[in-house]
Amino acid sequence: MPKVDRRILKSQQALKKAVIELMDEKSFDDITIQDLSDRANVSRGTIYLHYMDKYDLLDKLIVAHIDELRAICLSAAEMDFIDSTLLCTEYLDRNYSFFSTMLASKGAPYFQNRYLNFLIEEFRNEIDITQGKNEGINEEVIVRFIASAYEGIVEWWLKNERPIPHEVLAKQLGELLERNI
């Protein structure tokens, strides 16, 4: 694998940070390439060297976080719900500015849909509708119910500036998942 130039990584990190900071201040639609250039302290040409436009930058940022969450879920496949949820809430806590901005901004529906679809994919593998409490319930209904509830709690936690520690959130979410899946 070829070595990535540190200057490229530094520019991309500055741009990712800039878009999050700017989204905290104004609607994504109102952010210009010049705003990004000024905030990240890079030229407009540098932005276009790495991204087609501001939408491409945001999309790549979202995909990177969803992919990281997917990798966390994969690594936690053999864990119980509490321990695996702890890994996820640690990641959300470490990346609080990104997730809280994505859920609070006016451009959030795009992110929320991506995040919800990710959760649906993950929970689809966990739910057994052939026996127990979920027997006879349509699989799509139960999967969407669990994923929507999980997303709603995470959104509440982030929008309310993490009113409980992520460890407590993980324990309580994990217990709820164990009761319902």
Which structural domain, as residue segments, surrounds residue 20? 1-51
Share of the chain above pLDDT 90, in %: 69
Question: Which long-range contacts (C-beta less than 8 Å, at least 24 apart) are formed by 169-176?
Answer: 169/85, 169/89, 170/82, 170/85, 170/86, 170/88, 170/89, 170/90, 171/82, 171/85, 171/86, 173/81, 173/85, 173/89, 174/80, 174/81, 174/82, 174/83, 174/84, 174/85, 174/86, 175/81, 175/82, 176/149
56, part of any domain: no
- In this structure, the answer to whether residues 37 and 88 fall within a common structural domain is no
- Per-residue pLDDT, averaged over 65-76, amounts to 94
The pTM of the full predicted model, rounded to 2 decimals, is: 0.87
Count up the domains in the chain and report the number: 2
Say what the pLDDT of residue 1 is: 61
- In this structure, the answer to whether residues 122 and 167 fall within a common structural domain is yes
57, part of any domain: no
Say what the pLDDT of residue 140 is: 93
- In this structure, the answer to whether residues 71 and 156 fall within a common structural domain is yes
- In this structure, the answer to whether residues 38 and 100 fall within a common structural domain is no
Say what the pLDDT of residue 170 is: 96
- In this structure, the answer to whether residues 42 and 131 fall within a common structural domain is no
| Model pLDDT for residues 116-132, shown as the tens digit of each residue | 999 999 999 888 777 77
